[in-house]
Amino acid sequence: MSSGGLLLLLGLLTLWEVLTPVSSKDRPKKPGLCPPRPQKPCVKECKNDWSCPGQQKCCNYGCIDECRDPIFVN
């Protein structure tokens, strides 16, 4: 690959990395709270609430990121 092609690829990867987190931060969080931490090995199932289906939230428990049904506290 030519140096121009590598430079273009590097530029596109940098742009993708910069723009990806910004788009998810612009969206509001879904309502509700995450339930207590599950007892299971580390998994990375989601990045944010909007990568989960329906009303589920992306819940972070240290090394575990997974889609869970929210709980609501009055």
Q: Which domain holds residue 9?
A: 3-21+29-68
> What are the beta bridge partners of residue 57?
68
Percentage with pLDDT > 90 across the chain: 41
Instruction: Answer whether 27's CB lies under 8 Å from 58's CB.
Output: no
The CATH number assigned to the domain holding 52 equals 4.10.75.10
Looking at residues 3-22, what average pLDDT do you find?
60
74 found inside a domain = no
73 found inside a domain = no
Domain total for the chain?
Answer: 1
CA distance 12 to 51: 23
**pLDDT tens, 43-62?**
899 999 999 999 999 999 98
34 found inside a domain = yes
